[in-house]
Structure 1
Amino acid sequence: MARPPIPFLRPSPADVAQLHGQPLRTEAIPSQSLFRISAYNSGEPHFGRRGTNRFDAPDHSYGTCYLAFTLQCAFAESVLHNAMAVAGEFKVPRQDLDPQHVHTFLNAPLTVVPFYGPPLRLLNLDGRINTCIPYDIPQAWSQAIHDHPQMVDGIRYISRNDNGAHAVVLFERAEPMLFKATSTPFALVPGSSNVITAFNVVPA
């Protein structure tokens, strides 16, 4: 007899209590390995509290900042996040593409919880946490991880928009660890043309 599928639910109070009573599996990542793309050349890294993104605080009690390990993934998770390809092309208006800046950071150690591989399954979760819409369940798990006594810096997860790559959401308490190194217009960053080619982006 086939086993029933794993329930995909918000963590109950009992789940949260159990989670907070055991150590989290974590990994260390260097902040210099991360990219962030935004339409601003200042005010970064920005930790938002809108509650509209995957791992945002459901009660707006803490800010979150989304980054990626590759320029391509950062582009997919920002500029192309809500875009739809038409006839095999992403037509991106110039007024959306031209302001984009790539932000990089000086080296500092960050501690994150992997939302992939064995650590994810040990939470009784699976890949749906990284892809599901709407975001109520991921946000509830974000808060459970944020409130854990280990006070980790964030979560590493598989990008929904570039699923061969990993992204990171950092909680607001990690902000003191993010010292910005550079803010460069996207078009001037090495490798940007490769990203445009990979996604067949056509400035409109």
Structure 2
Amino acid sequence: MSLRLPEPGTFEQLLRPVRIEVASLVRLSRYPATEPYWSAGVYRFDDPDPGRIGEFGTCYTASSIEVAFAESVIHASGRFVDGAYEVPSAELIERPVVRFACDRRKTLVLADLTGAALKALGLNNDISASADYAVSQAWAQAIHDADPRWHGIRYVSRQMNKGFAYAIFERSGLRKLHAEKLTSSQVDALCDRFNVTAV
């Protein structure tokens, strides 16, 4: 059974907020100078119709370096071969950890698409795990357009299902605070934890 679409009038009052500290957001980026990167029409909770009036960009962040590593480095560059993930060495050392700030606020109000809040909407975790982004993008647009108080969406990481990922809307005012390279001990610990071999 496919996920329901967000019909106007059927979901707005069911959305549950969760407050997230801006300082807790992390992203592993190939291009830290251009962060935050605002995507549209490509990824899970992007605006499905970029170019329309009221369009929005989405920046994907995570609740921890581990989630960011699983979501970006392993997912984008890893391949599982002979019992381990092989990841190019450059991907392990050339993605700095980006931290963020907002000039107008210290916390963001996100629509919670996890746990009981997700089920109360008549949805399940396919919203975070399906390879077809049509429904999740429709929900992102509907949530964005429903109320300007929503700064984004919290969802379960598909690549590390004990962690959260965040789709932050451009109107949040998110900006890069700083970027720093992972230390060699951090890289080694991440590789050990996720069964990654540098190639």
Equivalent in 52, 56, 66 of residue 62 of structure 1: 56
Structure 1 unaligned blocks of 5 or more: none
- Residue 23 of structure 1 deviates from its aligned partner by 6.1
- Residue 94 of structure 1 deviates from its aligned partner by 2.5
The TM-score normalised by the length of structure 2 is: 0.87
Seen in structure 2, the aligned counterparts of structure 1 residues 57 and 202 have a Cα distance that, compared at 3 Å, is: same
* Contact 1:153 1:171 survives alignment (8 Å): yes
Query: How many residue pairs were aligned?
Result: 191
Higher fraction of helix: 2
State the distance in 1 between where 2:145 and 2:66 align: 31
1:91-130 superposed matches below 5 A: 91-106=86-101, 108-130=106-128
Structure 2 unaligned blocks of 5 or more: none
Runs of at least 4 residues of structure 1 off by over 4 A? none
Letter in 2 for 1:128: D
After superposition, the CA RMSD in angstroms is 1.9
Q: 1:57-86 deviations in whole A, cap 9, x for unaligned?
A: 111221100011111100111111243311
Seen in structure 2, the aligned counterparts of structure 1 residues 119 and 79 have a Cα distance that, compared at 3 Å, is: same
State the distance in 2 between where 1:132 and 1:23 align: 22
Matched residue, 1:28 = 19
State the distance in 1 between where 2:33 and 2:75 align: 21
- Residue 163 of structure 1 deviates from its aligned partner by 0.7
* Contact 2:109 2:149 survives alignment (8 Å): no
Seen in structure 2, the aligned counterparts of structure 1 residues 179 and 58 have a Cα distance that, compared at 3 Å, is: closer
- Residue 98 of structure 1 deviates from its aligned partner by 3.0
